[in-house]
Structure 1
Amino acid sequence: MSILGERVVLHLEARKFFCHNVDCQKKTFAEQPGDEVFRYRRRTCRCERTVARHGISVSSGSASRLLAHTGISVSPSTVLRDLHRISTPEYGNVEMVGVDDWAWRKGITYGSILIDYANGRPIDLLGDRDTESFHGWLERHEKVRMVSRDRSTDYSSAIASTGCHITEVADKFHLVKNITDRMKKLVAENYADYRKAARCGEDELAYTAVTADIPSPIGHSSKKSDLRKVTFKEVKELQRKGFKPTSIAKKLGISRQTATKYCKMDSLPERNSKLRNEYYKYDAYVEREAVSGKALSAIHQEICQMGFSGSRTPFYDHYKYLCDGHRGYRSKNWKPDPKKAKPQDDRSKLLPVKSITSVIDKAMKGPGRTISEDF
C-alpha cells in the first residue's frame, strides 16, 4: 500500500533450505513470507484487496486511473486478473429463486441470472437463456420449491420438464409491466375522451371527441381509433384562431414539424400502415391462445393460415403486452399583420399517452419504491 499517495516498496529476504535426505521427494524449501503477502505475487494482501474493491465498484480502466492517484500503478488487465482470482461465495441449498435474462450484447446474445430470494443476492449466472441450461441448473438444485420468473416461456418449459413440484410466480416488475402495457393500450384507444375531460374547465371550443369502446380481453371494436385525430383537431382549431405552427407546437407540447405538417393539411389521411393488417380481427383469438400458454410464434403461424398477412416482428410488437413494451394551405410569402394582436388560447398541452401511463405506473408502484427493491 502507498503512504500519503507515495509508492512504497518493501524488500524481503527469504531463505532457501536444501534437504539431503535421499528418501525425501522435495530437495529445496523456500521460506514463506507469512500472511501479508500472497505466494508468487509482488504486492501485499492489503494492496490486492484494495485493487479488487476498486475493480468491483467501477470498470477496470477507471479503477486503474483511480489507483494511480493513490500511488498504486496497475494496468486494467491486472485489475481484471485480480477480480478473476476472487472465489465466489457458496450459497448452499436454496428453496426460492428468481430468474431473469441479462445481456451479453443487447439485442443479440443473452444469459440468465439467478437470485436468492432469501437475501436478494445473485447466486449464479448461466451462459444463455435456453430451456436446457435452466433445466440443468434445476436438476442440480433439487430443493428449489418456488421460482419467480419473467414472461418467457423458456423458463416455464424448463420448470415443467423437471417433473418436480415447483411453484411459478411472476415477479412484481413484470406484473406491473403487464398492467402498464394493457393500460397504455386502453388510454390510447380512449385518448379523445381524456382530452375532452381535461378541457372541461377551459373555454368551450368546437370539439368533437373521437370515441372508442373500452376493450375487453376477448372482444374489440371493429375499427381502432387513430390518436392523430385528436391532435389534428386541436391543431386546426388553434390555426383557425390565428396561431402559427411554432406557437401551436409549444402550446400543445408537440413537435414543430408535426404542427407544420398538420397546418398544411385540409384533412387527415388514413394511416394504412397500422390498419392494413387488421389486428382487431385476431385480438380475441390471440389473447385466448396466449392465456392458455401457447407461444406467440405458434399463434402467428396459425393466424397466417386464417388470412393474416403481417410479418412476425410487427406481430410481436403489437402483442408485446402478452409476452416476455394546422390550418389550411398558406403560401411561403405570407406574413402576419404586425398590427394584429397575438391570438390567445388557454388550453392545456396534449399529455402524451406514455406520460399518462407513467403516472399510472408510479401510482401502482407506490411512493418512494422501485421495482429493483423487490427483486
Structure 2
Amino acid sequence: MREQLTSIALALAGRAGARLAGVVGLRVAKDTVLRLVRAVPEEPVGQIRVLGVDDFALRKGDSYATILVDLERRRPVDVMPGWDAEPLAAWLNDHPEVEIICRDRAGAYAEGARNGAPQAQQVADAWRLWHNLGEAVEKTVSAYYACVRTVFENTVPATPLTSDDIWQTSPPPAPAAGMLDVGGRERRLVTRTRERYTAVQQLLDNGSTLEDICRTLQLDRSTVRRFARATSIDELLVKATNRSTILDEYKPCLHQRWNEGCHNTAQLHQEIVALGFAGSIQTVQRYLRPFRQPPPRRPRAARLHGPAASSAGS
C-alpha cells in the first residue's frame, strides 16, 4: 500500500493524489501524501551533459526562481532563487562536464552560461523556437495590418498587387474593428493601452529598467515586458481588440432583441442562457451599457423675476 501511495504521490502530489487514492480505495489525507513525497530519497545529481535552464514564478509579478533540469534524464537537479547571472555561473563552475545549455532568451541566463561554462554550447528548445517564430510573424502582420486588411477586403485583381501598389492605392486606414464602442467612442481598453505604451516607452528612453518601470507604474513585470518589446502601438492594439469572450456567440441575438425593443437586461440574460450562455448577468449588463443613451434633459421652465413676476402672479 505504501508503494502504491508513493507512486500516486509522486505523480499528483497532495490534494489530487489524495482524491485519486480515495477512488481506488486507499483513503489518505493530503498531508500524508506530501510526507510520502518528502520521504523519497533524492537521487544523486551525477554528471550532467545537457542542462535545461528556465525561470518560474514563486509569486507571479513579485518573486521568481530558476530551475535547472537534466534534460537527458528528464528530472530537476536544483532550484536557485532569482533569475540573475551570478548564481547560474557559480553553479556551472562546479559542473564543468556540462556540454549543452538549453535556455530561454533571457540576457541574464546567457551571461551566466557564458561566464560559468564557456565550453558549453547554448541552444533554445523547440517550443521556444516555435514561440519566437510565432511572435515574429505576429509583429510583422501587426505592423502592416492596414495593408493586409486592404488586400483581403478588396477584390483580388487579375494582376497580383505588389507592396508598392498597396501603399500607393490604399486609402487612409479607418479605425480597426474593435477600436470603437457602439457609441462611436474609443474603447476604454484602447485608451488605456495607448497610455501605458506611451508611459513605458518614455521611461525606457529615460534609462529606467523594467523593475523601475514596474514600481513606477504599478504594473506586473510581464505586462511591462510586453509593452517594452512591442515595435509599435498598432501591434498591441490588434492583440487587445481581437480578444474573444464567452458572449461573442450570443451578441447577434442580443442585437436583434434590442432592436426589437427589449431593453430588460434580466430578460435578455435569461433568453441567451436558454441558448447555452454560461456567463453572469453582469457580463450582459457591461456589454449593453453603451447602448443605453441617457434620457434627454427636460428644459427648465423660465423663472420670472421683477415686475413681470408680480404681474404674472396677479
Deviations 1:315-368 (A, max 9, x none): 64333369xx9xxxxxxxxx79xxxxxxxxxxxxxxxxxxxxxxxxxxxxxxxx
**Residue 230 of structure 1 aligns with which residue?**
176
**How many residues are matched?**
210
TM-score, with normalisation over the residues of structure 1?
0.46
Higher helix share: 2
Higher RCO (CA < 8 A, seq sep 6+): 1
Is 1:171 paired with 2:125?
A: yes
1:101 partner SS:
strand
Q: CA shift at 1:96, angstroms? A: 1.8
Counterpart of 1:102 in structure 2: which amino acid?
Answer: F
Matched position secondary structure for 1:260: coil
- Residue 239 of structure 2 is aligned to residue 317 of structure 1: no
SS in 1 for 2:31: helix
The offset of 1:184, in angstroms, is 2.0
Distance 1:263 1:312 in 2: 30
- 1:101 aligns to 2:55 (yes or no): yes
Cα 1:98–1:264 shift into 2, 3 Å: closer
1:261 to 170, 173, 183: 183
Partner Cα separation in structure 2 for residue 61 and residue 272 of structure 1: 43
Question: How far does residue 107 in structure 1 lie from its aligned partner after superposition?
Answer: 2.3
Once the two structures are TM-superposed, the CA of residue 278 in structure 1 deviates from its matched residue by 11
Q: Secondary structure at the match of 2:72?
A: coil
- State the 1:85 CA deviation: 0.8
Task: Give secondary structure in 1 for the equivalent of 2:67.
Answer: strand
User: Is this contact kept in 1: 2:200–2:228, CA < 8 A?
Assistant: no
Cα deviation for residue 138 of structure 1 reads: 0.9
Alpha-carbon distance change, 227 to 127 in structure 1, aligned in 2, over 3 angstroms: farther
Aligned residue among 80, 97, 106 for 1:143: 97
> Which structure 2 segments of 5+ residues have no match?
157-165, 215-222, 237-258, 261-314
Correspondence list, 1:235-250, <5 A: none
Secondary structure at the residue paired with 1:54?
helix
Go from structure 1 to structure 2 and tell me whether the alpha carbon gap of 1:101 and 1:227 turns closer, same or farther (over 3 Å shift).
farther
CA contact (8 A) 1:112 1:126 kept: yes
Which residue pairs with 1:64 in the alignment? 18
Q: Deviations over 1:290-309 (max 9, x none)?
A: xxxxxxx9xx3xx317xxxx
Aligned to 1:197: 151
Which consecutive unaligned segments of at least 5 residues does structure 1 have? 1-46, 203-210, 214-225, 232-253, 283-296, 306-310, 326-334, 337-375
SS in 1 for 2:82: coil
Q: Relative to 1, partners in 2 of residues 1:114 and 1:321: Cα closer, same or farther, differing over 3 Å?
A: farther
Q: Aligned partners of 2:229, 2:125: CA distance in 1, in Å?
A: 17
d(CA) in 1 for partners of 2:70, 2:230: 27
**Cα distance in 1 for residues equivalent to 2:103 and 2:3:** 35
* Structure 2 Cα separation of the partners of residues 111 and 264 of structure 1: 40
CA drift at 1:119? 4.2
- C-alpha distance in 2, partners of 1:227/1:86? 63
Task: State how far apart, in whole Å, the 2-side matches of 1:120 and 1:200 are.
Answer: 52
Question: What's 1:27 paired with?
Answer: none
Q: Deviations over 1:124-173 (max 9, x none)?
A: 33343232322232122111122111121221222233264222223333
Alignment partner of 1:113 out of 67, 77, 81: 67
Do the aligned partners of 2:68 and 2:79 also contact (CA within 8 Å) in 1? yes
SS of structure 1 residue aligned to 2:19: helix
Separation (CA, whole Å) in 1 of partners of 2:197 and 2:108: 32
Q: 1:97 to 1:81 in 2, by over 3 A?
A: same
Aligned match of 1:128: 82
